A = this chain, B = another copy of it.
Amino acid sequence: MKTISENKCFGGVQGVYSHASEVCGCDMTFGLFLPREAAEEPVPVLWYLSGLTCTHENAMIKAGAQAWAADHAVALVFPDTSPRGEGVADDAAYDLGQGAGFYVNATEAPWAAHYRMWDYVAEELPALVTATFAIDDERQSITGHSMGGHGALTLAMRLPGRFRSVSAFAPIASPTASDWGRKQFAAYLGKDEAAWAAHDASLLMRRLGFDGPVLVDQGSKDQFLDLLKPEALAHAMMERRQNGQVRMQPGYDHSYFFVSTFMADHVAFHAEALYRD
């Protein structure tokens, strides 16, 4: 593991690190915020999964999460959104290939060789950060934005016991019914739609639900709202009687100005779950 940078931030440290990923078969970079309390003892952690076109850096510099994470003594991890580098397949479109891993393990050529973001975020990176840093792996929660909201919700539901709470900002809530999803799942997972259902938050909510609280925020002026389908997730949450809430925030769009506005709420929501005994 290589330290790219470390900056003091809200009394703690915002670091950027890279490592050779066995899972992805390339070097991967991630951001990690450790609050000052991590110098004394392991702290709980909130995973933040980013959206299309993002690297580890976007949320780290634009989501305004460190202020609240410092207040609540919570670490933040910002993984990248795909494998990268020479020899890693890519596509000219912004929504396929590098920057658009969709948090799945690709089974189809040319993606299968490197695009294993599910295993990377679910297994390899957690093992690395909890072994290396003062992070309490018994107290983890997860959030994300857009494609990352999709990732957060699907990981949370399919890894029961791993996360104490899950939230999402404008998640891709029903990718099997959206052009943000169908195209990518066909490319990464193949034409058999049966394999897609394990990566659709609304379908998983119907089938599995989540054993903890769920918070979803969505802006009403989101330019991609028709692709996100919060109505499918809201319906599934209520039908399941899922502990949770869905909020339509009037006037907000899909940007980090939306994310940063509600970040305090989300970090406080997770902190309550992470510090509850």
Which A residues are closer than 8 A to B by beta carbons? 213, 218, 220-221, 225, 230-239, 241-250
Contact = CB atoms under 8 A, between A and B. Distances in A.
B244 A237 contact: no
A245 B243 contact: no
Contacts of A221: 241
Nearest to A213: B250
Given A218-B238, A230-B238, A237-B234, A247 B248 contact: no
B243 A238 contact: no
Given A231-B235, A231-B238, A246 B245 contact: yes
Contacts of A231: 234-239
A102 to B, nearest CB: 22
Top 8 A-B pairs, shortest CB-CB distance: A243-B250, A231-B238, A234-B234, A235-B235, A245-B247, A220-B241, A231-B239, A230-B238
A232 B237 CA distance: 11
A6 to B, nearest CB: 39
Contacts of A245: 245-248
25 contacts: A213-B250, A218-B238, A220-B241, A220-B242, A221-B241, A231-B234, A231-B235, A231-B237, A231-B239, A233-B238, A234-B234, A234-B235, A234-B237, A235-B235, A235-B238, A237-B248, A238-B248, A241-B248, A243-B248, A243-B250, A244-B247, A244-B248, A245-B245, A245-B247, A245-B248
A233 B239 CA distance: 11
A75 to B, nearest CB: 27
A244 B218 CA distance: 10
Contacts of A236: 231
Contact of A220 (B230, B243, B246): B243
A220 B233 CA distance: 16
